[in-house]
Structure formats: structure tokens, C-alpha cells
Amino acid sequence: MADIRWFGRNDYEHLIVPDLRRLGLDIAVDGDSTAALAVAMNHDLAPAVWRYSRRHHIPFVSYVWDLPPSRIGGGRYDPVVSIAGRLVAIPRVRGARYTTRRGYYSRLRFVARRALAVWTPSVSSAADVSRHFGVSPAVVPYCYNSALFSPENARDHTSAETGPPRPAPATADPTPLRLLSVSRLVAPKNHEAVIRAAARLGGRVDLIGRGPSLDALQALARRLGVALTVRSGLRGDEIVAAYRDASVVVCPSRYEGLGLTGIEGALCGTPVVASDIPAHREFLGAAAHYFTLDDDDSLVTAIDRARGSGPPPTAQFASLTIGAAAQRFFDRLSALL
């Protein structure tokens, strides 16, 4: 019998599994054989993990990445019942409901409240889960892909003659301005702000991602005369190259559970601008120049400051490597077995 049945949907959610195995845990990532404990690393898989735990009479851990304010709003969950092994949300007759995807987040709440433990990546996510789901989660940060992003693949900012970089003088940078953002093309990621800033600064915008906002973003760029490139499905080395080629990496999200883009950009040696939200402050610290949401003047100023700065500090990301996260998870999982 395996120690852990790990439920993840993509490579990122499995990043720490090899290290957990090296630390001594027997982990199954597929199949229906029983295990001592199940772990749900993907919101979409939470109901499946709940059903698995019921079939095998074992406890499980629910990892809740974030609860988007645009989806939760000020509403309450719908009651959820189990019918023939399916979790069915019954629309609430009275009172405000979750704003969107009501049944989805109602089912996620149902599962989280039946978990042996609920973990979140950040303090801000933990506060949201506590407030909306009525549970007390532990903050257990995950990781960035430290096998791909590391200080060693940062662009070269030093030379034998000049030594370490110094902040540039407060004069206009003659190189073309390239603003890069890497994330899903959805409204809460706030890519529109980057395009508006590029219009004011005479720069171009590169986006890496896919999503339903693509047409609207392209239309905005055409209207403002901004050169916009959108790519998706890139290899890891191509993403690293895009970070290194950018003048400034912009992370304009309205919320994040962890927020990888700024971490990855900083590790590639590129200046980072980030929205002033709790998760960015928690994980980026001094590695970013911050701007106030819905304040284009603030964003333009932050980009100007970042453009004239050197590479960001990266020492604080040592606790977010694959190995560091695996050790965190190993310690907590071992205590639950």
C-alpha cells in the first residue's frame, strides 16, 4: 500500500513528487489502489479525491490555491449533497450566492470541510479560505520550477571590467521597451493595464498565455497603437529566453495565491513590476517595484523605475525551490501518516 495517493493535473502540481520519493515516501500518482493518505493538489480534482477517500476509508489533504474575489464575491456557498457518489450543489433560494462558478466553489468548500487538513500557499489565501470556508488552513508554500529557473540562467549584468551592476542614472533608456507578462488571458490577470502603460511609454507588449480575453486584448492594443505579441505552448527554454529578452516583467494581477511570474522573471535577472497585492508582497518582497491597482500613473512610474534598475535580489526565493517545498510537504505529510 502506498503512503500517498497524489492527485495533480499537470507537471507543475507534480514537481515535488520525485523529491518526496527520495525523502522516503511511497507515492502513487494514478490508479485506484488504496493508500494511507490522499492529497488533492488541483481544485478540479477535489470531488474525485473525496470519492477516493470514501471508497478506501482514508483521510485526505485539500490544497486550496486561492479563492478569487471575482468568483466568490460577498456571497455564500450553495448547500452540497452527495447523490450516487456525485457532489451536487443545490442553488440557494435566499441570500447572495457566490458570484460565478457557484457550484464549483461550493463543492470545493464541501470537500475542504471534510479534509483531515487544508493547506494553502500563502497567508492571504489562508485568510480567504478561513473566511469563506470556515476552516483553519495551514500555510504550506509550494514552489517555482527551480529546475528551470535559477540565478544561473539570468542574463549577464556583469563583466570583468565593470564589476557588479549599479543602478542606471535617471535618464531615458535608449533601448526599445519590451513589457512581458506570463499568465492566463483572463480578466483578473489585468493585462489591459500593461497595454495601456505601453501606449503611454511607447513600448511593446509580449504576453505568454492563453484564455478568453485574447480578442479583447488584441482589440485594445490595435486601438492604442501598441505592438502586441501573444504566444502559448512554449518550451521551458523558450520561456526563459522571453524573460531574459524583456525590459521589464509586469505582474498586474488583481489577486494571486502564490504568483510565479515575478519570481521567474527575477530569477532570469529581469526587473519586475508587480501589483501591490498581499501575495506579491509576501513572496516577491524587495524583488519587485510595486504599483497601485487601477492607477495607470502608478504603473507607468513603477515601470520607469524598474527599467533603470539592476537585476532583482533573489536570495528570498531559496525557500521556494522544489527541494525546499518537498521538505516542507514531507515533514507535514509524515506527521499525518
Confidence band of 295 (pLDDT split at 50, 70, 90) = very high
Does residue 168 register a pLDDT over 80? no
Q: Is there a single domain that holds both residue 108 and residue 168?
A: no
Burial class (CB in 10 A: 0-12, 13-18, 19+), 251: buried
Q: Among 16-25, 92-101, 319-328, which stretch is predicted with the lowest mean pLDDT? A: 92-101
Residue 109, C-alpha cell as written in the block: 468548500
Res 224: pLDDT: 98
Res 93: pLDDT: 87
Q: Is there a single domain that holds both residue 105 and residue 217?
A: no
Confidence band of 323 (pLDDT split at 50, 70, 90) = very high
Number of domains in the chain: 2
List, edge to edge, every strand of the sheet that includes 178-182: 228-231, 204-208, 178-182, 248-251, 272-275, 288-291
Q: Is there a single domain that holds both residue 94 and residue 220?
A: no
- The mean per-residue pLDDT over the stretch 63-82 comes to 94
- The mean per-residue pLDDT over the stretch 192-218 comes to 98
Q: Is there a single domain that holds both residue 131 and residue 173?
A: no
- The mean per-residue pLDDT over the stretch 252-260 comes to 95
Give the CATH number, domain containing residue 222. Answer: 3.40.50.2000
- The CA angle 317-320-323, to the nearest 5 degrees, is 125
Q: Is there a single domain that holds both residue 41 and residue 20?
A: yes
Does residue 167 register a pLDDT over 80? no
Q: Is there a single domain that holds both residue 124 and residue 170?
A: no
- Mean of per-residue pLDDT scores for the chain: 93
Q: Is there a single domain that holds both residue 47 and residue 155?
A: no
Res 308: pLDDT: 85
Res 331: pLDDT: 98
Q: Is there a single domain that holds both residue 242 and residue 293?
A: yes
Place of cell 524598474: 306
Looking at residue 246, the DSSP 8-state letter turns out to be -
Q: Is there a single domain that holds both residue 325 and residue 227?
A: no
* Domain range for 120: 2-143+321-336
Give the CATH number, domain containing residue 35. Answer: 3.40.50
Q: Is there a single domain that holds both residue 48 and residue 23?
A: yes
Contact 276, 301 (CB under 8 A): no
Q: Give the DSSP per-residue string, 190-215.
A: -HHHHHHHHHHHT-EEEEE--STTHH
- Give per-residue pLDDT as tens, 206-255: 999 999 999 999 999 999 999 999 999 999 999 999 999 999 999 999 99
Q: Is there a single domain that holds both residue 242 and residue 294?
A: yes
Q: Is there a single domain that holds both residue 70 and residue 174?
A: no
Confidence band of 166 (pLDDT split at 50, 70, 90) = very low
Confidence band of 156 (pLDDT split at 50, 70, 90) = low
Contact 225, 199 (CB under 8 A): yes
Does residue 33 register a pLDDT over 90? yes
Res 205: pLDDT: 98
Confidence band of 106 (pLDDT split at 50, 70, 90) = very high
Res 150: pLDDT: 85
